[in-house]
Amino acid sequence: MIKAIIIDDEKNSREVVSELLKECFNEIKVVAKAGDVKTSIAEIEKHKPNLLFLDIDLPDGTGFDVLKNVDYSNMKVIFITAHQEHAIKAIKFSAFDYILKPVNSGELIKTVRKVLDEHNAVNNTLRFEAILSNFGNSLPELKKIVLKTSDRIYLVNVKDIIRCEAENNYTVFYLANGTKIMVSKTIKTYETLLPTHDFIRVHQSHLVNVNYIQHFDKPDGGILVLSDNSTVPVSHQKRNLLLDYFSSLS
């Protein structure tokens, strides 16, 4: 039996989630519900749930204040949030799942099934470390990103990413320490997630961290040479975008 706790400041939202779980998941038992940080911490310590539905905005703090004060090492979390751009970006960066308010039954069922099928409890701590770092960051840019391969989870500092390269529906990350990581998401996903003031899509297949650019050879569209001595082609369509970036520095 999977023990679940629902944390949400809206009673109606808590009841909707609870009823959907009761109707659709025989293996899940809701052992407690809470609407504020203090009560949530007490209930988690008492019941030690396997699954947590966690609202971000609570009357006396945030869902992240809850996580900072409990043992989350053996707990799976699904965030519940309104349309908050920074919060959603932090969740995506950290490879967690979330459902939007108002709670939609189809979305909740799909998300719960996905989370229950995951087999990465050993690496769970890395994801929590990432989200607490990212959401606790007062700056708009996020510090750490979780990259999941078929057999491993990596916690990567965004500043250590030199470039990303598309390989069909996969993306290869090249890091400053020489590590290569291939993940099963498109480069478009990371073009959207990574900070736009540091990363530029210079080609259909290439997204580069401008902090690692050594120089730009302009003939025939152009070639970028990066600090690891790798070279990246610049498409004709992206050439002006890159030149505008250089102009902004002068």
Could you tell me the pTM of the whole model?
A: 0.75
Q: What is the mean pLDDT of residues 164-177?
A: 96
pLDDT digits 0-9 by tens, 35-74: 999 999 999 999 999 999 999 889 999 898 999 999 988 8
Nearest to 96 by CA among 132, 150, 69, 62: 132
CATH architecture for residues 2-135: 3-Layer(aba) Sandwich (3.40)
pLDDT digits 0-9 by tens, 82-133: 867 777 888 888 888 999 999 999 999 999 999 988 765 445 778 888 888 7
Which segment of 6-15, 83-92, 172-181 scores lowest on mean pLDDT? Answer: 83-92
Question: What pLDDT was estimated at residue 140?
Answer: 47
Task: Express as a percent the part of the chain with pLDDT over 90.
Answer: 62
Question: What pLDDT was estimated at residue 122?
Answer: 45
Fold of 159-249: OB fold (Dihydrolipoamide Acetyltransferase, E2P) (2.40.50)
Q: Which long-range contacts (CB under 8 A, 24 or more apart) does 94-102 make?
A: 94/127, 94/128, 94/130, 94/131, 94/134, 94/144, 94/145, 94/146, 95/127, 95/130, 95/146, 95/147, 95/148, 95/153, 96/127, 96/131, 101/10, 101/13, 102/13, 102/16
- pLDDT above 90 (res 150): no
What residues does each domain of the chain span?
2-135, 159-249
- Evaluate whether 78 touches 95 at the Cβ level (below 8 Å): no
